[in-house]
Amino acid sequence: MINGDFMKKLFILLFLFITPLVCAADFSLEKWPLYKDVKEVKTGLNSFSIDDEIFKNTQKDLRDLRVIDNKNREVPYKLLKSHSKSETQTFFPKMLNKSYAPGENSSAVLDFGVNNQGINFLEITTSSENFQTSARVYGSNTIGDWRVLADDIYIYDYTDNRGNMFYKRTSLNFPESIYQYLKIEIDDNIGKPIKIDKITGKRIKKENAKELRREVAFNKKTAGNNTELVIDLGQGGIPHSKITVGVGDKNFNRSLDIYASFNNENWRKVSGGYIFRYNTPKFNGENLVLDFSEINERYIKFIIYNYDNVPLDINKITIYSVYREIVFKAEAGGEYKVYYGNKDARWPVYDLDKYFQYLDLNNVKQVNLSDEKVNPILKMLDYDKGNPEKSEKIKNLMSISLVSASIILIILAAQFFRKKK
């Protein structure tokens, strides 16, 4: 039952908003429940970053974002997602003096020619499995006067054919070298040599993606031989694809699985991996970084398999989100808002996408957003962003009412013109 107060509000809203909504077809305001003011906009290209409030109340791919000016016109924008940039040149050196010293190491010399343009990466192809050891890289122009380029590089292979699990790192990174010859040495793994089947050289220029860091709280408990860590981000929608784990222990190697959930009940497996650290007289190295395909669930759970070991001293967890921003062009004296929250929205298609690459982005102005606000049309109808079911009913009722009011206005106008005749 709709009470009189509600009808009064609805009448006022229809009177105030029906005309601009009917006349301005660029943007149907009543379909977008939430917005933020864009603050201190400058003439020309402006950009603002996507914050957690927007992530929480938009679709996962952000298709329901719209930039609107003070004339209720939709303003074209470009959504930018930071990503790693790299340029790679690949070289295939001649392999010389491949050999093995029993109980010590495997080695090989690589000839990149007298015109070596610079190498900073070697990828080792090996048929050896289930090893963890150290490698070194040397450089020389004479195959004799060897200079150390990198020492104690940790390489490993974890192969479980039965469980179809494979984790390995057999790449060697070092400062860029123009030596004609490079030599690698790989220490034996518990007395067993590491087979060197092939080595590829590369020169990689890399620029890492811009990321947002969040140190997060977590609950920890031990069940049997496993440690379970549960992280609550406080809301869903925040994208994340990398986690680092702070551990107080010195020597360990543990496998783990990562799960995600929106409700802390229905969990899905996201990824698996290993964390390890070695601090010994022969080798120092660690891997405490976990990369996986981007997710946006509120809860994350780690299950660390301790086997017969003491549980690890986990003291910090950091989550990383890839930076996203909106770029749009503002007119002089214009005021702008960003609307979102329309679950039925489709991706906008703008001409801007076609020529954006030709714009000068060196002078883009970074602007800020206000706190989240409720669309005043829906606010007067007691829109509740915390109650999607109630809010959806209000939006549907508003749409029906606007259509009905439009029909009534057309009928009244027709009667008016008939009387004029």
Per-residue pLDDT at 259: 97
Q: Which of 48, 51, 10, 21 is nearest to 34 (CA)?
A: 51
The answer on pLDDT for 386 being more than 70 is no
Confidence of residue 382 (pLDDT cuts 50, 70, 90): low
The percent of residues above 90 in pLDDT, for the chain, comes to 63
The answer on pLDDT for 412 being more than 70 is no
Axis-axis angle for helices 388-420, 4-23 (nearest 10): 70
What gap in Å lies between CA 176 and CA 358, rounded to an integer?
33
Look up residue 303 and give its two tokens.
Answer: 């299950």
The answer on pLDDT for 399 being more than 60 is no
Looking at every residue in the chain, the average pLDDT score rounds to 86
Q: Which has the minimum average pLDDT: 23-32, 172-181, 238-247? A: 23-32
How would DSSP label each residue in 233-280?
Answer: -SSS---EEEEEEEE--SSEEEEEEEEEESSSSS-EEEEEEEEEEEES
How would DSSP label each residue in 91-154?
Answer: E-PEEEEEEEETTTEEEEEEE--TT---EEEEEEE----SEEEEEEEEEESSSSS-EEEEEEEE
More confidently predicted of 352 and 152: 352
What gap in Å lies between CA 319 and CA 176, rounded to an integer?
31
Look up residue 178 and give its two tokens.
Answer: 């123009």
Q: Which residues lie closer than 8 Å to 268 by C-beta, 6 or more apart?
A: 259, 260, 261
Strand-pair category, 44-49 with 365-366: parallel
pLDDT digits (tens, 9 = 90+) for 256-275: 999 999 999 999 999 998 89
pLDDT digits (tens, 9 = 90+) for 148-166: 999 989 898 888 777 677 7
What gap in Å lies between CA 202 and CA 135, rounded to an integer?
17
354-378 mean pLDDT: 92
The percent of residues above 70 in pLDDT, for the chain, comes to 83
What are the Cα distances from residue 368, in Å, to 41, 325, 326, 371?
9, 11, 11, 10
Q: Which has the minimum average pLDDT: 29-43, 219-233, 272-286? A: 272-286
CA atoms within 13 A on the CB side of 374: 13
pTM score: 0.68
Per-residue pLDDT at 18: 47
The answer on pLDDT for 400 being more than 80 is no
What gap in Å lies between CA 88 and CA 315, rounded to an integer?
37
Q: Which of 77, 72, 65 is nearest to 341 (CA)?
A: 65
Architecture of domain 86-207: Sandwich (2.60)
Radius of gyration of the chain (CA): 30
The answer to whether the beta carbons of residues 54 and 65 sit under 8 Å apart is yes
Same fold, 86-207 and 211-322: yes
Per-residue pLDDT at 1: 47
pLDDT digits (tens, 9 = 90+) for 18-37: 444 443 334 688 889 999 99
User: Can you say how many angstroms the Cα of residue 378 is from the centroid of all Cα atoms in its chain?
Assistant: 32
Q: What is the 3-state composition of the chain as percent helix, strand, coil, each rounded to the nearest 5?
A: 15, 50, 35
Q: Which has the minimum average pLDDT: 130-144, 222-236, 374-388? A: 374-388
* Residue 4 main-chain phi, psi, to 5 deg: -65, -35
What gap in Å lies between CA 364 and CA 45, rounded to an integer?
5
pLDDT digits (tens, 9 = 90+) for 68-89: 999 999 999 999 998 878 899 9
Q: Which CATH number fits domain 211-322: 3.40.1670.10, 2.60.120.260, 3.40.50.1000, 3.40.1210.10?
A: 2.60.120.260
361-373 mean pLDDT: 94
Lookup result for tokens 């329901």: 64
What gap in Å lies between CA 17 and CA 299, rounded to an integer?
41
Per-residue pLDDT at 23: 38
Q: b/e map of 154-174 (b: 16 or more CB within 10 Å)? A: bbbbbeeeeeeeeeeebebeb
181-208 mean pLDDT: 92
Confidence of residue 391 (pLDDT cuts 50, 70, 90): low
What gap in Å lies between CA 392 and CA 343, rounded to an integer?
10
Per-residue pLDDT at 283: 72
Per-residue pLDDT at 22: 41
Per-residue pLDDT at 376: 85
Per-residue pLDDT at 26: 45
**In the chain, where the domains are located:** 1-33+375-421, 35-73+324-368, 86-207, 211-322
The answer on pLDDT for 55 being more than 80 is yes
The answer to whether the beta carbons of residues 210 and 82 sit under 8 Å apart is yes
DSSP, res 194: P
Cross-strand partners of 132: 156
What gap in Å lies between CA 119 and CA 91, rounded to an integer?
9
222-244 mean pLDDT: 94
Q: Which residues lie closer than 8 Å to 378 by C-beta, 6 or more apart?
A: 30, 33, 391, 394, 395, 398
More confidently predicted of 330 and 283: 330
Confidence of residue 209 (pLDDT cuts 50, 70, 90): confident
Lookup result for tokens 């509120």: 298
